[in-house]
Chain A
Amino acid sequence: MKELTIIIGGGLDTYCINCSKTRDVVKKVVEKKFPDVHIDFDHINISRPESISKYGPMLPPCIIIQDTIVHEGSIPTESIVEKILEHFLK
């Protein structure tokens, strides 16, 4: 089973509504299209100095995979998440 860690970034220290919705979209796509992949979710506050130092300024909600910003500024659609995961799991 493949494993992937996905970081969801938001403006708060905990999951806000938009971050939760983003996580749910990712979960749904994984269940439907990538059943053999195990995803670990992590959350960061993108307005904290350590996040800015590492990734620069971002707009929430954002998705970071393997230190790469793959999406920011809106809740992604399922097809966008699918394309992102296809790229990182190929």
Chain B
Amino acid sequence: MAVSDTMHERRISLKKRFLNYFNAERRKKLYTIFYFIVLAALVGYFIYSKIKLLFTTPPTESIDYAAYEWYIIPYVYIINYIKHAWNSLLLAFMLSGVIYEFVPTTSIRKWLGGGKFYHYLLAALLAPIFVTCSCSVIPVYVGILASGASLGVAMTFFLMAPAANFITILMTGEYIGWNLGLWRLAWSFVAAVLSGILFDRLRVSRELRNQYDKQYATTGQVKRFEVKKTIHDRVETAYKFTLDIMKNILPRLLLGLVAVSFLIAYIPDEWITTYFTGFVGIVIAALLGGPLYTPTLVEIVMTRSFILKGMDNATALSFMMGQPYDFVSMVPNSKYFKWKGVLLYSIVSFVISILSAVVYALIYKIPL
């Protein structure tokens, strides 16, 4: 009895000493170290895999999913996806957390004020680093306008943010190939800047600006209190953001992968080679790319699978460029840019989708 009591006391005392040693402060330090170790490991593995595959194209093996039982297809497809994409997907999620916390978006917003040519370029360049949730879209928009930006600059920002956010760029490059990924980025940039510049030439842009100036005039001095954040605070915020974004995106991605797996298994290859190649394919892809309204990560997977089934790269580019004119975003966007603005950017994006694909086809000698 006495022995067991002593053992029990010793166990409690050990537990107390353990908890005393690993107090909140030390635990925070350990979490920070662990976070950076995981990040470094992911970046390291990413670089290692790049060196290993230096100058080689992504794997192009095509699995015949139709050969499997229907209920096995999603399982095989998802496993195959995870095998290829786990590193870049995890890295993208973690880096989005780092960008969210470590890039000073509040001050960057102020750089966009104005309607000069370089403001459009800045808006398009900075949009990818604003990782925002859906409820932040309006405040970010209002913030850009409040910094003195023209409506066209705000439009450039809004078109570029979903088309070329950090996760999209990384996943397109990694899963489809950096050649196509960079083409997509460059042409999305052109479409966003051109739409913004053209929109500012319309009278509706100036009317909206005047309306905004009357409605949102700031009165009085705003007081601010700044707390100095420690590195541990920043890591905690970045980590929580990463978790939130994963919880938000992964279930939708999984559902999308299930849907895409059936599409890939049962769509005949001849359909793809007939309707998704050449100039006709480019136009059909541009027409479908927007209205389909697939989540970006699913769209990337779908595009790669279509490429493996015979879609040419030019058509793939046109298909992926359709994001800005999806029907679902048009309604809320009409509130900020009116229907004239929505129509303008839809036409510009559609034309640029086709143009970019045709230029790509001509350069890489893909038959049109």
B215 within 8 A of A: yes
Q: Indicate whether A69 sits within 8 Å of B225 (C-beta atoms), given known contacts A11-B137, A47-B138, A77-B236.
A: yes
Partner of B227, one of A10, A18, A80: A80
Choose among B139, B147, B220, B224 the residue that contacts A69 (Cβ–Cβ < 8 A): B224
Quick check: is B20 within 8 A (CB to CB) of the other chain?
no
Chain B residues positioned under 8 Å from A79 (CB to CB)? 230, 232-233
A70 contacts across to B, CB distance below 8 A: 224-225, 227
CB pair A18–B135 under 8 Å, yes or no, is: yes
Q: How many pairs, one residue from A and one from B, have CB atoms within 8 Å of each other in the complex? A: 93
Instruction: For A46, give its contact among B105, B139, B224, B229 (CB under 8 Å).
Output: B139
Q: Report whether B105 and A73 are in contact in the complex, using a CB–CB cutoff of 8 Å.
A: yes
| B62 sits at the interface (CB 8 A) | no
Q: Which of the residues A59, A65, A71, A84 comes within 8 Å of B143, measured between beta carbons?
A: A59
Q: How many residues of B contact A (CB 8 A)?
A: 36
C-alpha spacing A67/B218, complex, angstroms: 14
Min CB distance A28 to B, Å, is: 13
**0/1 interface trace, chain A 36-79, chain B, CB 8 Å (1 if under):** 00000000001101001111111110000101111111111101
Residues of B with C-beta under 8 A to A46: 139, 142
Query: Is B93 close to A, CB under 8 A?
Result: no
A73 to B142, CA, bound (A): 14
Q: B225 touches which one: A12, A58, A68, A75 (CB < 8 A)?
A: A68
Q: Using Cβ atoms and an 8 Å threshold, which residues of chain A touch B227?
A: 70-71, 80, 83-84, 87
